[in-house]
């Protein structure tokens, strides 16, 4: 949590950090990933059989080793919009028997050479947990129940035995399941009204938890600031043993929201993730409202927010049907750092956040037949995932603010936009970590810091200018490491992301 005091332009900023004031535990799942059958995310991304860089499973070794550095706890699969016409049964069993199908989300052909068992194996190799999305478009409840049985079944039943026949004796124990994806959108096959979705989602949830009460079920929200979110939470976030269900456990565990941000201009681009922060705040209030109005008892766990698609994405610059391969700039890297600050600041409410996507598709990691490229956005993600864990701690920022146009425009009226964007954590190792983005294009900011003691490790991400990219054969943006003795003020360089780290007293 970061509180804020607005200063005049001529006043020097200050940051006060209080390690003894723990605000909320950070769920490691805020550093989750996302892999969809879209563009080169799966084929040519994580799965590239025959390539000299791939292992015996066809998995790209260089991709796995890079992603291991992020310590990704959960990966969402297989969509995304792809999910609305995907039938999981097509992607299991002998590969020579798997059908190719027209794919309607991104207008391609799905060969089904990579499916459930391959994804589960990839998760095991990576050391991450799977999160599966159910087909709410052309899928049926029977199909969804069968998939859960295939993945988690332990009894002598048809789909559990099919998994065994396909070479996996023990269940996968998939915990996280999404009740559809973006079914509110006109781009969806089987787009639904909020009324139709809420009815279907609750009835599916009831059946799924009868089969496996341990599932964590994730409701399909919209942006968090839409009437869809209000309606679906109101009608699905009900007490256990409600009039619609005799279940002893709550049926809805998380509420999903999605948001992508972008702008061609730097300052609107780097402040745009604050729309995501407001989305979290509004969704949190809608959850409270549903619990109050529906008389959900305090003994029932309060759902958290699953921000399972977020990133910087310009769909005109990187068209989805053409693979959505962005070439990210330093400005985009700073926007990603602000996004990550948002998730740390709002750790009380966010139970999961999945960057979309993990490889090639609007991704910080790009592959070629000969290797990988870590885009500008990789470096803030790497530093956050490595250090910004543990507890969010009390932090106060005093700073002047950017007063220009924002994207979306409504951010200007609902959020402050200080020149420094800040979050702070206390790790399990006893280290304080402070993440600071100086969004200014041209001004270094000399800042008083209250809290640091002794020698401070400094990690800086910046570049010669805001337009530099790592996609032109040269790494223009990376991490520079240094130290600071915590004396006097600290100067945060223009257009930079800085992580300061020291041992708490």
Q: Which residues pair with 368 in a beta bridge?
A: 371
Helix, strand, coil shares of the chain as percentages rounded to 5?
30, 25, 45
Phi, psi of 57, deg, nearest 5: -90, -5
Pairing of strands 33-34, 74-77: parallel
Phi-psi region of 454 (alpha: psi -120 to 50; beta: other; left: phi over 0): left
**Residues 6 or more apart in contact with residue 164 via CB below 8 angstroms:** none
- The alpha carbons of the chain give a radius of gyration, in whole angstroms, of 23
Grouping H, G, I as helix, E, B as strand and the rest as coil, residue 262 is: coil
Pairing of strands 74-77, 129-133: parallel
Grouping H, G, I as helix, E, B as strand and the rest as coil, residue 248 is: coil
Strand residues in 350-430 grouped as ranges (E): 350-355, 365-368, 371-374, 391-399, 420-426
Q: Where are the domains of the chain?
A: 26-390
Q: In the chain, how many H helices and how many E strands?
A: 11, 22
Nearest CA among 350, 380, 353, 383 for reference residue 364 = 380
Phi-psi region of 465 (alpha: psi -120 to 50; beta: other; left: phi over 0): beta
Element (H, E) at 6: strand 2-6
Catalytic site residues?
182, 309
Nearest CA among 419, 414, 422 for reference residue 400 = 419
Predicted pLDDT at 1: 76
Predicted pLDDT at 33: 98
Residue spans of alpha helices (H) in 153-244: 158-165, 194-211, 227-236
CATH code at 26-390: 3.20.20.80
Token output for 248? 């002893």
Per DSSP, 96 falls in state G
**Which residue bears the tokens 């990966």?**
75
pLDDT in tens, the chain (505 residues): 789 999 999 999 999 999 999 999 999 999 999 999 999 999 999 999 999 999 999 999 999 999 999 999 999 999 999 999 999 999 999 999 999 999 999 999 999 999 999 999 999 999 999 999 999 999 999 999 999 999 999 999 999 999 999 999 999 999 999 999 999 999 999 999 999 999 999 999 999 999 999 999 999 999 999 999 999 999 999 999 888 888 888 999 999 999 999 999 999 999 999 999 999 999 999 999 999 999 999 999 999 999 999 999 999 999 998 999 999 999 999 999 999 999 999 999 999 999 999 999 999 999 999 999 999 999 999 999 999 999 999 999 999 999 999 999 999 999 999 999 999 999 999 999 999 999 999 999 999 999 998 999 999 999 999 999 999 999 999 999 999 999 889 999 999 999 999 999 8
């Amino acid at each position: 949590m970061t509180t804020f005091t607005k200063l005049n332009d001529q006043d020097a900023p200050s940051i006060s950090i209080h390690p003894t004031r723990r605000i909320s535990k950070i769920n490691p799942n805020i550093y989750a990933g996302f892999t969809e059958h879209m563009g080169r995310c799966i084929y040519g991304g994580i799965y590239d059989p025959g390539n000299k860089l791939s292992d015996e499973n066809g998995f790209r070794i260089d991709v796995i080793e890079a992603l291991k550095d992020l310590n990704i706890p959960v990966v969402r699969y297989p969509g995304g919009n792809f999910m609305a016409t995907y039938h999981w049964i097509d992607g299991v069993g002998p590969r020579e028997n798997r059908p190719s199908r027209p794919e309607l989300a991104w207008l391609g052909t799905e060969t089904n050479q990579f499916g459930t068992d391959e994804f589960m194996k990839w998760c095991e190799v990576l050391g991450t947990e799977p999160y599966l999305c159910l087909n709410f478009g052309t899928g049926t409840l029977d199909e969804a129940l069968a998939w859960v049985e295939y993945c988690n079944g332990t009894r002598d039943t048809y789909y559990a035995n099919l998994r065994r026949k396909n070479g996996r004796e023990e269940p996968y124990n998939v915990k996280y399941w999404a009740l559809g994806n973006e079914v509110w959108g006109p781009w969806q096959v089987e787009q639904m009204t909020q009324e139709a979705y809420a009815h279907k989602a609750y009835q599916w949830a009831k059946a799924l938890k009868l089969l496996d009460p341990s599932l964590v079920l994730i409701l399909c929200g919209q942006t968090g600031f839409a009437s869809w979110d209000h309606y679906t939470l109101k009608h699905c976030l009900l007490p256990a043993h409600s009039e619609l269900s005799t279940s002893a456990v709550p049926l809805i565990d998380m509420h999903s929201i999605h948001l992508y941000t972008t702008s061609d201009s730097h300052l609107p681009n780097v402040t745009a993730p604050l729309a995501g922060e407001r989305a979290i705040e509004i969704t949190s209030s809608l959850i409270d409202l549903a619990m109050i109005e529906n008389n959900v008892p305090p003994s029932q766990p309060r759902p958290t927010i699953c921000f399972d698609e977020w990133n910087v994405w310009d769909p005109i610059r990187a068209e989805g049907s053409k693979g959505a391969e962005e070439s990210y700039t330093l400005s985009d890297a700073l926007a990603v750092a602000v996004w990550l600050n948002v998730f740390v600041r709002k750790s009380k409410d966010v139970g999961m956040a999945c960057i979309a996507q993990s490889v090639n598709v609007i991704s910080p990691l790009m592959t070629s037949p000969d290797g990988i490229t870590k885009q500008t956005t990789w470096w803030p993600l790497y530093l956050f995932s490595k250090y910004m864990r543990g507890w969010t701690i009390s932090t106060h920022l005093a700073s002047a603010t950017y007063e220009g146009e924002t994207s979306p425009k409504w951010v200007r009226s609902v959020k402050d936009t200080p020149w420094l964007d800040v979050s702070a954590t206390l790790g399990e190792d006893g280290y304080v970590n402070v993440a600071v983005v100086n969004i200014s294009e041209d001004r270094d900011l000399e800042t008083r810091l209250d809290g640091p003691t002794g020698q401070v490790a400094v990690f800086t991400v910046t570049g010669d200018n805001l337009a530099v990219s790592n996609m032109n054969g040269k790494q223009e943006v990376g991490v520079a490491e240094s130290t600071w003795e915590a004396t006097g003020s600290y100067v945060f360089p223009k257009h930079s992301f800085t992580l300061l780290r020291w041992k708490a007293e």
